[in-house]
Amino acid sequence: MTDLLVASTGGHLAELHDLAPRLGVGDRRWVTFDSPQSRSLLDGEDVVFVPPATSRDLVGAVKDLVVARRMFGRRRYDRVISTGAGVAMSFFLPATAAGLECTYIESATRTRGPSLTGRMAARMPRARLYTQHPSWADDTWRYGGSIFDAFGAEPIAEPRPVRKVVVTLGTQDRYRFPRLLTRLVEILPSAIDVLWQVGATVIGRMPAGARHQVPSAELHQAMREADVVIAHAGVGSALAAMQAGRRALLVPRRRAHGEHVDDHQVEMARELSRRDLVVAREAAEITLADLGEAAAWTVRASPVVTPFLLSPS
């Protein structure tokens, strides 16, 4: 039989892809949206692309529900595992009706409690719920581990000058981040080689070579070659920087500026800063000295893969 791994593109997919080897998954089929990230990250995997559904997108969720019902009618699966977002519920509903086990792993960005999708998943009968932060684990939400547990930061003995930078603002079309892009265009010297992944963000003075989205393989290679990674505080971008050995300069989006649905990125930046895995700054506060501080550290991953502790069925 086959496990169904379901996630929206962006950070949700990046988390589930990173967690998959730790979940004891055998045969698997992925369900996600069609994007350069998903095609690059899941190259060679069994993948079903479903209609994209943005945050709190009822129409998109219904379209995915139709696909899910069709899939469950044609093939039997062992269980459904998801890291969100809304597409999780589109598959949990028919899976539960079919008597399948559903596992929801809340995003590591949620440091204080579950997201809207997580709260909805908690209402599903027999759903297995996991947090990546022990501080809010309880009888409903179990702690199984965190995608960040395997990483540690250490200073570089002889840091190199900052000559190459990767800037990634995420790839969501619904939310823009002009405050950060404007600040970086103002302060980054023209002599620095920059790869710009700006998503939907548009400002009056766009940087040369700005790209809406960069395939995962190309972006990760650029991060490995860069001296500094500057990113919004999305879990996918932070994780990619760490995997590339970079202590990212992380800047959270703010709800007050219409940059996201809530302030979970503020919590995310604070948590990773506490772990010394990033340099966290607000958009208006970034200086060239912050780039030097980020470049003076490296991040290393443990060679031992720690299992994510799912309870037995």
Over residues 153-184, the pLDDT tens digits come to 999 998 889 999 999 998 877 889 999 999 99
Give the whole-angstrom CA distance, residue 212 versus residue 196: 8
Per the prediction, the chain carries an average pLDDT of: 92
Q: Among 3.90.1300.10, 3.30.9.10, 3.40.50.300, 3.40.50.2000, name the CATH number for the domain at 3-143.
A: 3.40.50.2000
Give the whole-angstrom CA distance, residue 307 versus residue 298: 24
Closest residue by Cα to residue 310 from 19, 12, 5 = 19
Split at pLDDT 50, 70, 90, the class of 187 is very high
Split at pLDDT 50, 70, 90, the class of 264 is confident
Looking at residue 278, its pLDDT comes to: 97
Dihedrals φ, ψ of 285, to 5°? -95, -10
Please determine, for residue 232, whether its predicted confidence score (pLDDT) is greater than 70: yes
Q: Global pTM?
A: 0.82
- Sign, CA dihedral 198-204-207-210, equals positive
Please determine, for residue 305, whether its predicted confidence score (pLDDT) is greater than 70: no
Task: Name the residue ranges covered by the structural domains of the chain.
Answer: 3-143, 152-301
Looking at residue 149, its pLDDT comes to: 86
Strands of the sheet containing 249-251, edge to edge, are 193-197, 164-168, 228-232, 249-251, 279-280
Length of the chain (residues): 313
pLDDT, mean of residues 233-244: 93
pLDDT, mean of residues 242-247: 96
172 in Cβ contact with 10 (< 8 Å): yes
Looking at residue 42, its pLDDT comes to: 94
Strands of the sheet containing 79-84, edge to edge, are 47-49, 28-32, 3-7, 79-84, 101-105, 128-131, 142-143
Output the DSSP codes for 253-287: --GGGTSSSSSHHHHHHHHHHHTTSSEE--GGG--
pLDDT, mean of residues 240-267: 93
Please determine, for residue 26, whether its predicted confidence score (pLDDT) is greater than 90: no
DSSP state of 250: E
Radius of gyration of the chain (CA): 19
Looking at residue 313, its pLDDT comes to: 56
253 in Cβ contact with 175 (< 8 Å): yes
Split at pLDDT 50, 70, 90, the class of 40 is confident
Please determine, for residue 56, whether its predicted confidence score (pLDDT) is greater than 90: no
Closest residue by Cα to residue 10 from 85, 71, 91, 101 = 85
Split at pLDDT 50, 70, 90, the class of 289 is very high
Looking at residue 59, its pLDDT comes to: 86
Closest residue by Cα to residue 88 from 118, 111, 133, 112 = 118
Structure confidence by residue, pLDDT tens digits, 109-142: 898 899 999 999 999 988 999 999 999 999 999 9
Query: How do strand 3-7 and strand 297-301 relate by DSSP bridges?
Result: unpaired
Please determine, for residue 89, whether its predicted confidence score (pLDDT) is greater than 80: yes
Looking at residue 226, its pLDDT comes to: 97
Q: Among 3.40.50.11540, 3.40.190.10, 3.20.20.80, 3.40.50.2000, name the CATH number for the domain at 152-301.
A: 3.40.50.2000
- Measured in whole angstroms, the distance separating CA 90 from the mean position of its chain's CA atoms is 20
Looking at residue 312, its pLDDT comes to: 63
Query: How do strand 193-197 and strand 164-168 relate by DSSP bridges?
Result: parallel
